[in-house]
A and B are shown apart, each in its own frame.
Chain A
């Protein structure tokens, strides 16, 4: 992937790595704001009803307490200003267990936390709607037009007449994002203006939502978020905690810091919803798919709807003449679900790719061969040509690298001592889009020493965005990497897209690249000279004796981008080892082969892919947020109960990238890897478990009890 003399495409270590491992990188609550007070939220202990009375007296009298803010005294906020999930202390109504009902501000964190427990609340309870197993029968068509029934041909009829078919329901549980850095904010007012140091995946989005909700102008709100300790979608949309910190700071007339506790994370910042996905597949004897129906039932919040698009992979993965994609949703007394890594695709691919494996087994066909037989030449959902599609290469190169030929076609054929060994494969995909982003590039020359500064309000989730943008700028300006400074995560900088939906790398890198090209063009024009060989900006700064120069670009996706269907693709290979007696599963080897366009930095890209794979393995084997169906509370509120994979759960991880040059997608051919890394992973593991044990687990996670 590396071009000659280019730093782009090389495995450069993170330029902010030393800052991070030495603790010098300032995350939101690390800012040394003076005279700070501490806020702690307190939450409802019922899932549905109304607050009858609140006694805040003891809390107000508790040592160090500066204010207790509840719906009774909170300033008026705009509840539809873009903050997700409600809980803005605007009414006594309770819609989910653990809804914020107030916050205490005190001199110290401990004082605030203690006083928050002294508030006495009485409720008028109503019957909570929290038992999904019962309520799913009442699910209805979502309001979201994109979730309308999508039919092509007649899938039901084709299924009825099919000789080979699979019809099964695949269940995925509620999951939480649980970034290591809980959502946290410092709010500091300066007159009419408020600075919010806040962990934000969409810097400008946070600015807009905070301003609208606080009933002030966007230019009065500044978001500072240079580093993010993980977000996975939960810091994309902003939640009440951001605005309530600003409210608290206004009320006490001092800067205020508010950080959620781990336990508060389960009902403060969204979740991945529980899905029942019925997938029906039919094929001819020789393995040609004839029908695919993917019918998802899920839940949303009482007032607001969010439905993750579980049918998206099924829309485009395979050539099939009869297709049906549907969604049904039921409102429940739980916090609003939200974007969660690989939204819809990670969960949807578990259902689709498990069903593909089931049907391949029924057909006595190798699951790779079965997929290759149904490879579409164009996007089956809209007939558009692919900007590029690498599924075939991913499967074929992956099979070779993984040693797929060693897989036994029949399950339970590979026993080693107390363990059954199995191999599984599954494909994944995620859309590749470039979003409008601006960037400013400034050059400064002192003698012959030239430095560059790259600035945009982009977000670095911890994935290496600072680094890839420095690489992009270094090549485009003709400067060494260490002469580039990258400044991100500040709404005072030129506006940029969010680090969401795998749009970050393509949107930001194209903007930075364009800005560097424009800067060079302007320096050439300024020189008034004609060059046979295009000089670099760095050369021009010297030859034209320029001390300072800067320019800005407002980059947009290519005009013809939507003539193509543009996606990243992958194939995932898992080897599992299942303890015959205890049902404990270990993923001993995992390989993800990914086609995601131009890889700007193979080192950070690999980290991001295997990070997605690890979460996918967690999805497959360990992660589940459990709701008590009587009361709507989560019983899995700590890392002791919510099992993200530990090091010991993860075996050998390998990531291979397919080399591709997809300029139809965007000018640089960068497609994004954040989401696709988790897509298809759970199915690959579940398929491997079937190959090992002969047991088809359709309800995640695959805990030991399910394999007894």
Chain B
């Protein structure tokens, strides 16, 4: 790999100060994605700032003084610890399921919660420096290898001619469904709070930019508001092998019911877009309706009506519908078998 400078920091302000004004510096947390990309010469940072000593690992309840209003998940906590934390298991099982659906045990033991959000697409054209990729080489505008290439794993929503890649995270899909917010700090200015829905972006004309994080910003925590979905939620991941494979389609589904009437529905899809894809159309169709398979189907069909598949991924439209219905059914009944 290319030579780089390695800096260790021990608190938030020295971390943000170290990176300020250095567009080619990167924070290093779990390193499960960044180091791979550096070895492949895809990421070429001049400096790595090791933030693993920062005290940002706790998972704790959020209160407004009197009542619990949610949960805060430290950005540098490990994915494994988040998935197994009793508060998350009890109140946000959807998140635990999503984390455990991702990567492998070894990777989850290293990967951090903040880093999970920042992992980059697994598009093979992005990973192979011999291939054209607008995301990897933005200045030269070499074209998108996947647009007319092997795009079975790629987007069916929100892609552009410049980029058809999908975001690889499972965790982020559950966070999208659960209305998470991301807290960030920088050397200049106060703490900023970004809704997860606004955190990742669509590729448009700037596929090299994955998120709306500004240069120099450090994720400190992920916060989830309190909800009533714990009883009725499910994360379904459809993939080519049972573990350590990225999603063909994944669905984070959550329902809040009054009797059998849907008070709130949350559906987010993975493996379909450059960001976790919140199925707002389907959600809106379900609110106020009875929780029935027929209504799930109608909502899924409405959502998928807008899909624009590529040459090799038309199956994702049908698979997406089926998976949404299945995930909602399991969320409703709790019966996975």
Contacts and interface: CB of A to CB of B under 8 A. Distances in A.
Interface string B301-337: 0000000000000010011001101100000000111
Contact of B149 (A630, A639, A701): A630
Contacts of B3: 63, 114
A266 to B, nearest CB: 11
Nearest to B324: A581
A581 B127 contact: no
Interface stretch (B5-13, B176-184, B239-247): B239-247
Interface in B142-156: 145, 148-150, 152
Given A117-B41, A582-B323, A705-B248, A647 B318 contact: no
Given A582-B323, A583-B319, A635-B150, A416 B241 contact: no
Contacts of A648: 241-243
A59 to B, nearest CB: 13
A127 interface: no
A643 B241 contact: yes
A263 interface: yes
Contacts of B322: 581-582, 708
Interface centre among A622, A628, A630, A705 (most CB of B within 10 A): A705
| Binding site secondary structure of chain A | loop
Nearest to B146: A635
A626 B323 CA distance: 26
Contacts of B336: 418
A417 B241 contact: no
B150 A581 contact: no
A582 B326 contact: yes
Interface in A669-707: 701, 703-705
Nearest to A640: B122
Interface string A624-651: 0010101101011111110101111100
Interface residues of A, number: 42
Nearest to B327: A581
Given A582-B322, A633-B128, A628 B241 contact: no
Contacts of A635: 124-125, 128, 149-150
A643 B240 contact: yes
A626 B150 contact: yes
Interface residues of B, number: 41
Contacts of A97: 130
B271 to A, nearest CB: 12
A419 interface: yes
A263 B241 contact: no
Nearest to A63: B3
B214 interface: no
Contacts of B240: 622, 643, 701, 703-704
B243 A647 contact: yes
B239 to A, nearest CB: 8
A433 interface: no
Contact of A418 (B124, B242, B243, B326): B326
A606 interface: no
A639 B241 CA distance: 12
B238 A584 contact: yes
A416 B335 CA distance: 12
A581 B244 contact: no
B326 A633 contact: no
B246 A114 contact: no
A640 B36 CA distance: 12
B130 A45 contact: yes
A223 B254 CA distance: 61
A241 B120 CA distance: 32
A621 interface: yes
B130 A633 contact: yes
Given A640-B122, A645-B241, A704 B248 contact: yes
Contact of B245 (A581, A637, A643): A643
A663 interface: no
Contact of B241 (A114, A419, A622, A636): A622
Nearest to B323: A582
B46 interface: no
Given A630-B149, A633-B131, A705 B319 contact: yes
Given A114-B3, A582-B238, A637-B124, A708 B319 contact: yes
Given A117-B41, A704-B248, 15 more contacts: A114-B3, A117-B129, A263-B40, A582-B326, A583-B238, A628-B149, A633-B128, A635-B128, A639-B244, A641-B122, A643-B240, A649-B242, A703-B240, A705-B319, A708-B318
Interface of B: 1-3, 39-41, 104, 122, 124-125, 127-131, 145, 148-150, 152, 236, 238-246, 248, 315, 318-319, 322-323, 325-326, 335-337
Q: What are the 7 A-B residue pairs with the smallest beta carbon separation, nearest first? A: A648-B242, A705-B315, A45-B130, A635-B124, A646-B243, A648-B243, A581-B326
5 contacts: A45-B130, A582-B323, A633-B130, A649-B243, A705-B319
